[in-house]
Amino acid sequence: MVGQNAGARIVATVAALYRFPVKSMGGESLERVPLAWQGLDVDRGFVFVKGGNISRFPWLTARDLPDLVRYSARLTDHLNTRKSPVLVRTPSGEELRGESDARRESLERQYDGPLTLLHPGRGAPDAAMLSVIGTGSVRALSERVGQNLDIRRFRQNIVLEPVDGTPYVEEEWVGRLLVFGSGGQGGDGGGDDVARVRLNRRDHRCMIVNLDPDLGGQNPAVLREIATSRENCLGLYASVEAPGLLQVGDPVYLL
């Protein structure tokens, strides 16, 4: 049993869960969500593609259009996520379907170029299908930068509250397995419905962490501090070893 296994202990609770249906836009906060083999369904499931760009990274992101982070996207049907319409809310509060011509044309004017909304089958993550960060890490970075940093600017799927609040403690867990929920106390690392996540490597950051998720303004000190003190890494990339339910408040075991 996980609870009786000498190599397992509760190391955190789930503090928050986020899905970002449209790449580089703000996302939706979730209280509970199924974790599938590919991560969270429709996370980075839609992406705007820059017309005429045939590079390996043709996606429109906040590196091209920083104000993109001030848009937020959400699914309207959480029971049928793969067929759910996506609603995008603009900084002014207007809400339209993600694929609407008005939405695309507005972004084209800001980007100054043609765009197409794409729905790739496996989504459009930069490097991994799932990401994890500890709240202690963001608090420590906030202190060093001298600004209270909203955890949403780091765009992680799973936010953990470590039991002792230690900053960057999640980096010590690379290569190990997290088991989610009280159901993880039964069986050999959990039953069929218990989510298990492998922590693979540190998350190498880019300038998007400089952007305020509400105001869009840039603070270059954020990435500069991560580069100087954390080898340009904050948070972790992860993969799914067993699907299951993720829920805010659940205990998290380390194997």
- Domain assignment of residue 71, yes or no: yes
By the 10 Å C-beta count (0-12 exposed, 13-18 middle, 19+ buried), 142 is classed as middle
Torsion of CA 139, 150, 155, 117, to 10 degrees: -170
Amino acid at residue number 204: H
Per the structure, how many domains does the chain have? 1
Q: pLDDT tens digits, residue range 103-125?
A: 889 999 999 999 999 988 777 88
- Domain assignment of residue 2, yes or no: no
Q: pLDDT tens digits, residue range 40-60?
A: 999 999 999 999 888 888 999
- Domain assignment of residue 157, yes or no: yes
Domain extent at residue 181: 9-254
Q: pLDDT tens digits, residue range 213-236?
A: 999 899 999 999 999 999 999 999
pTM of the model: 0.92
Stronger pLDDT, 63 or 188, i.e. the higher one: 63
- Domain assignment of residue 221, yes or no: yes
Q: Residue 60: which CATH number?
A: 2.40.33.20
